[in-house]
Structures are given as structure tokens and as C-alpha cells.
Amino acid sequence: MFAAVLICASFALHVTAQAEGGPPHSSNPDCNVTSSEDHVYKTCTFVCDGDEALALSSEEPCELPKLTETPSDKPVALDRSEAGAEQGVCKDGRCVAKSSVKTVADHVE
């Protein structure tokens, strides 16, 4: 009888210890961003923890996809992230160049 109680107590401690750990963090670095960080998103649409889909649209900084074609004739000023990738901003779930995003001042004129 004592052995059965000891086994049940050990099992209860084992289950409780695992439950306190909480859910694991997502392996996608874009999912683990806190609002206080300066983070450049890899993409503007991504899935976190397998069930939470996010589409950014508030001009968050993002890495522009590499172009395989020649760029347009109009030069565009580019910011670069620490990795050296060209930066844009998230708009409607897509990463676009900063010059193609109209600001509030552009709409007032």
C-alpha cells in the first residue's frame, strides 16, 4: 500500500512540474517580439504556435524580398537591418518599400 502511495505521489509531482513550464516559445523570431524591442520582421504574414496567424499592417519595419529583376529607373533610399537586408514597412500583410507608403501628410495636400 505504501508503495502505491509513493508511486502516485511521484507521478503527481512529475505531472505538476511539467505543467508549470507553460507553453514553449515559437521557433519563429517574429512571434516572440515584445513591444519594447526594435525588431525588423522577416515577413509581414506568419503563423505562431501553429494556430495564430498574423498579418502586419501598421508600418512595422520588415526585410524587403530580394529582387531578381532590375529595379526601376527611380532611385529609392533604403534602410538596412543589421544583417544587411534592405528594409521596408509592413502594409496590408506585405513588405513594401518605404517610399511607396503614403503618409497622412501626403493625403492632406
Domain segments of the chain as ranges: 38-68+77-100
What would you report as the CA-atom Rg of the chain, rounded to the nearest whole angstrom? 23
- Residue 15's pLDDT is 63
| pLDDT (0 to 100) of residue 52 | 82
Percent of the chain predicted with pLDDT > 90: 14
Q: For the full predicted model, state whether its pTM sits above 0.85.
A: no
Give the pLDDT score at 45: 92
pLDDT of amino acid 70: 52
CA–CA distance, 11 with 46 (Å, rounded to integer): 38
Average pLDDT over residues 47-66: 86
pLDDT tens-digit readout, 12-56: 776 655 444 555 567 788 888 877 568 899 999 988 887 788 898
CA torsion through residues 75, 80, 83, 58, sign: negative
**Closest to 93 measured CA to CA, from 45, 28, 61:** 45
